[in-house]
Amino acid sequence: MGERLRTANRRELGGYLFIFPAFLVMLMLVIYPLIYGGYISLFNTNLMARWNLVGLKYYLRILTDSVFWSKIRITISFTFWTVLGHFILGMVLALMLNVKIPGRAVFRAILLTPWLFPEVVVALVWKWLYNPMYGLINHFLVQLHVIAAPISWLGSPSAALPAVIIAAIWKGYPLIMVMLLAGLQAIPQELYEAAQIDGASPIQAFRYITLPGLRYVLVVSLILDTVWWFKHFTIIWVLTQGGPVDATNVISIDIYKTAFEYFRFGEAASMAVIVFFICFLFGYGYRRMLGDEGN
Amino acid sequence: MRGTKRDWKPLIYVGLTLSSLIVIIPILWMFSTSIKTLEETFSIPPRWIPLSPTLDNYINIWKNYPLARYFFNSIFVVSVSTIISLAFSCLAGYGVSRFRFAGKGAFLTFLLATQMFPSIMLLIPYFKLMRTFGLINTYTGLILVYISFTIPFCSWMMLGYFEGIPKELDDAALIDGCNRLRTFLSIILPLTLPGLVATAIYSFLVGWNEYMFALVLTTTTEMKTVAVGIGELIGQYRIAWNDMMTVSILASIPLAIVFLFLQKYLINSLTAGAVKQ
| Region class of A103: left (phi > 0), else alpha (psi between -120 and 50), else beta | left
Q: Measure the CA–CA gap between A268 and A122, rounded to whole angstroms.
A: 27
Q: Which of B116, B275, B145 is nearest to B210 (CA)?
A: B145
Residue A217 has pLDDT above 80, yes or no: yes
pLDDT in tens, A182-194: 899 888 888 988 9
Residue B272 has pLDDT above 50, yes or no: yes
Query: B165: Cβ–Cβ under 8 A, 6 or more apart, which residues?
Result: B188, B191, B192
pLDDT in tens, A45-93: 988 888 999 999 999 999 999 999 999 999 999 999 999 999 999 999 9
Put simply, the chain A residues between 142 and 171 with a CB less than 8 A from any chain B CB are 143, 170
Which ranges in chain B belong to alpha helices (H)? 2-34, 38-41, 56-64, 67-98, 104-116, 120-132, 139-163, 167-175, 180-182, 189-191, 193-209, 212-217, 226-236, 241-276
Residue A101 has pLDDT above 70, yes or no: yes
| For residues B187-213, average pLDDT | 90
pLDDT at B2: 46
CB atoms within 10 A of CB A185: 13
Which ranges in A130-200 belong to alpha helices (H)? 136-143, 157-185, 189-197
CB atoms within 10 A of CB B79: 15
How many contacts (CB atoms, under 8 Å) link A and B? Answer: 274
DSSP SS3 for A48: coil
Q: Are the beta carbons of A131 and B241 separated by less than 8 Å?
A: yes
Which one of A34, A116, A133 has the shortest CB-CB distance to B252?
A116
The end-to-end CA distance of chain B, in Å, is: 33
CB atoms within 10 A of CB B277: 12
**pTM (2 d.p.):** 0.90
Query: B202: Cβ–Cβ under 8 A, 6 or more apart, which residues?
Result: B150, B153, B154, B157, B266, B269, B270
Handedness of CA A23, A29, A32, A37 (dihedral sign): negative
Residue B115 has pLDDT above 90, yes or no: no
Q: Are the beta carbons of B101 and A25 separated by less than 8 Å?
A: no
Q: Are the beta carbons of A178 and B20 separated by less than 8 Å?
A: no
